[in-house]
Chain A
Amino acid sequence: MAAKEDKVIAYDRNFGALIRDKTQSNIPVKSVYGPQDIEDLDYQRDLGAPGDFPFTRGIYPEMYRKSLWLKSFIVCYATPEETNRAFKKYIAAGQTGLRVLTDTSTLSGVDPDHPLAKYDIMCNGNPTFALTEYETMLDGISMENIDFESANSTPSGSFFTYVFLVALMENRGYDISKLRGTNINDPIHAYIVYGTPEFPPDLAKKINLDLIEFGIRNSPKWHQCTPCGYDMRDAGINSIQEMAFVMGNAVQYYGDAINERGVKFDAFRPMVFSMSSESDFFETIAKFRATRRLWAKIAKEKLGATNPRNMSCRIGIRTAGNSIYPQKPLNNTARITMQILAAVLGGVQSIDPSGIDETFGLPSEESRIFELDIQHIIAHENNVPLVADPLGGSYYVESLTNELEAGTKSLLEEIDHIGGMWECLKTGWLRQQFDKTTAEIQNEINECKRLIVGANSFQGEDGDISKTIIEGAYKVPPDEKRFGAIDRVKELRQSRNQEKVQRRLRDLARAVKEDENILRPTIEAAKAYATLGEMVGTIRMAKDLSYDPYERIFEPQFLNDVIFERV
């Protein structure tokens, strides 16, 4: 009898006791904390006032009194026309940031007529396979005074977002030094999370640095590289790994840019990290505080920042996508609300919440508005952001902040010892880190040592509210519409000046072979309406790789002439 009770205990609605004595990242915690837990804490050294080194308490003296966090979300519809209408609507409503997201096929580095593309054309975004699509998507929209946030995570995704934005600005007569916004440009995280093979590691490393170098010289208001901890966290790691890998990647890219391209760290805009706001409330708050403190020290001591502004980091969060479950979806409202609250208490600079219906499709419009309203309620009804770092000094939160910093520091030392994050990726160490933690978390879920309300415990039937949530999500458009992108790319190849395309691709191939910065020739090829798949293929062939990263199709005939400079 006893054994049976043990087994069903987590499923019992009336069960009143807690089952965990550790945080979500398995940091053991006591039932109460007191002065002895933070006796070594030195206010000036370890916390400082908000706006002062080491920025534990926030990066601005008045924090949210001066300006609230940026309320952000991806506007990703299936066609450039739909996206354009949505952009205009949100700009009219006061939105100043536009998040650009390409569909899953194009993000993988190919054109819509690739044989593997047909399933995912127009899924999760629009197929921006050539400059024509950016022209339509940004038709009638000023490219000044807008923050363009690229949500395109793959190596080719980050590269071409910048290429197309700059090409369009130049074609429209804008000064590209006025380009504002953020690019992800974090190829190491992309390998782990997406695994698209279009630019193998050495090529991806070069392109990462080309983007940083070209960006800092030509569009200094644009964040050329904002390492993405969020995607890695969502793939199944813990808080300490998330902090160590996102900072390890930043040290790798910016360190390489300093050493190999001769730029100074002070020349960059302050670091931006994308991170996850998770369900473990206090651990999440402590994570943001510990990230700021540790990064301030790394920027100063390791990367040579001399300006305090460049020792601070801005944190943009998404609420944890993998915490959203399809079982009893109404419960997602509670998860998202708590995750947003943790982000605000942790002093982050931008918040992009999940939709409560996100496990059924793209969030519906009402679900988007609800995400915004949660933030309005926290700001204007709950009065949470009135005071900077309101949990600073809490025995528990300070102790947890120390613990997360110490754990991250020691993991970063291990990464250093291996030879940096590129080495960690190449040796398979990074993959092992993910596999180990993912399995650990999943086993806990399977064994009900980690409860997911509605999924592995407290289950129940969906009622009318849940059914409405399920039905309301935005679904992929009808197939006829989706396959229209295949016709568009074929038409484009027929209608453009082919001779010009070949000359521009020849210049690109030459730049790759001679190991020059490839941004300028790629931008020129994009202006001649070379397609994304052709540009990826040209870069690959110039490196003696197959045209198609997936080895399913052959190069177009003309590209051989291009690569061997017969044009």
Chain B
Amino acid sequence: MAEKGHKIRVLIGKVGFDPHDRGILILSQGLKDAGMEVIFLGKFLTAEEVVMAAIDENVDVIALSDHCGVMRLIASDVTDLLKKNGATDICVVAGGIIPDEDKPLLEELGVTGNYGMGTPMAEIVNHIIEQVSDVRGT
């Protein structure tokens, strides 16, 4: 876990075979522009790979993206593994095509944001800052 006041570190990765990566490319740039450190893992990953990299890289946030409507599956695997590895202080945010009816479940898992396309970058940046501040207790 990064210390107070350090730059926010965000890991961006896509689990599964959904190839749509324009969203994560844009997000990566937007977060860097906002002064965050981005660890960009790309796509075609397993949930294990994302979680292990997040722990190794000592990130504050995992940002997930999916355009196949299956974020609930991805998010439940990722949050499960975070729990098993005692890394629940890592925030998980998500975006892409996320069915409305899945959003309550995602929130319950602790996955926040759940943004659709066209969400202003400033809104996402502010959300990440707030989530991390909550965890850091600032």
Contacts and interface: CB of A to CB of B under 8 A. Distances in A.
A553 B75 CA distance: 23
Given A119-B15, A193-B19, A476-B70, A452 B118 contact: yes
A400 interface: no
Contacts of B6: none
Interface stretch (B20-28, B85-93, B105-113): B20-28
Q: Which of A119, A454, A470 has the most CB of B within 10 A?
A: A119
Contact of B17 (A105, A235, A454): A105
Interface residues of B, number: 31
Contact of B118 (A110, A116, A456, A476): A456
Interface in A316-374: 322, 325-327, 359-361
B12 to A, nearest CB: 15
Nearest to B15: A119
Contacts of A270: none
B18 A123 contact: yes
Nearest to B97: A359
Contacts of A194: 19
A435 B28 CA distance: 12
Contact of B70 (A123, A442, A470): A123
A25 to B, nearest CB: 17
Contact of A471 (B22, B100, B116, B120): B100
B138 to A, nearest CB: 26
B118 A326 contact: yes
A116 B120 contact: no
Contacts of A454: 118
A327 B118 CA distance: 8
B52 interface: no
B74 interface: yes
A475 interface: yes
A282 interface: no
Given A327-B116, A359-B117, A360-B97, A438 B18 contact: no
Given A456-B118, A476-B68, A360 B19 contact: no
Interface in B91-136: 97, 99-100, 116-122
B1 interface: no
A322 B26 CA distance: 13
Interface in B1-39: 15-19, 21-22, 25-26, 29-30
B26 to A, nearest CB: 5
Given A116-B16, A438-B22, A104 B68 contact: yes
A196 B19 contact: yes
A322 B22 CA distance: 10
A500 B42 CA distance: 39
Interface in B65-90: 66, 68-70, 73-74
B120 A119 contact: no
A325 B117 contact: yes
A444 interface: no
Contact of A119 (B21, B25, B70): B70
A442 B22 CA distance: 10
Contacts of A56: none
A534 to B, nearest CB: 18
B30 A235 contact: no
Nearest to A328: B118
A550 interface: yes
A475 B99 contact: yes
B44 interface: yes
Given A107-B17, A235-B22, A442-B29, A361 B118 contact: no
For chain A, the bracket of interface size reads: 35 or more
Interface in A419-478: 435, 438-439, 442, 446, 452, 454-456, 470-471, 475-476
Given A326-B117, A360-B100, A476-B68, A104 B44 contact: no
A552 interface: yes
Given A108-B17, A439-B29, A361 B69 contact: yes
Given A123-B68, A360-B97, A116 B17 contact: yes
Interface in B27-60: 29-30, 43-46
A323 to B, nearest CB: 10
Contacts of A438: 22, 25-26
Interface string A514-530: 00000000000000000
A470 B116 CA distance: 12
A123 B69 contact: yes
Contacts of B119: 455
Contact of B46 (A116, A439, A452): A116
Contacts of A475: 69, 99
Nearest to B120: A456
Contact of B19 (A104, A442, A455, A479): A104
A408 B68 CA distance: 34
Nearest to B47: A119
A552 to B, nearest CB: 7
| Most chain A CB neighbours (cut-off 10 Å) among B30, B66, B116 | B116
A120 B16 contact: yes
Interface of A: 104-105, 107-108, 110, 115-120, 123-124, 193-197, 235-236, 322, 325-327, 359-361, 435, 438-439, 442, 446, 452, 454-456, 470-471, 475-476, 479, 550, 552
23 contacts: A104-B16, A104-B17, A104-B18, A108-B17, A116-B45, A119-B15, A120-B17, A195-B44, A196-B19, A197-B44, A326-B117, A326-B118, A327-B116, A359-B116, A360-B97, A360-B100, A438-B26, A442-B26, A442-B30, A452-B118, A455-B118, A455-B119, A550-B44
Nearest first, the 6 A-B pairs at minimum CB distance are A119-B16, A455-B118, A123-B68, A326-B116, A194-B19, A108-B17
Given A110-B17, A123-B18, 13 more contacts: A108-B17, A108-B44, A115-B46, A117-B17, A119-B16, A119-B18, A119-B66, A119-B73, A123-B69, A196-B17, A197-B44, A325-B117, A452-B118
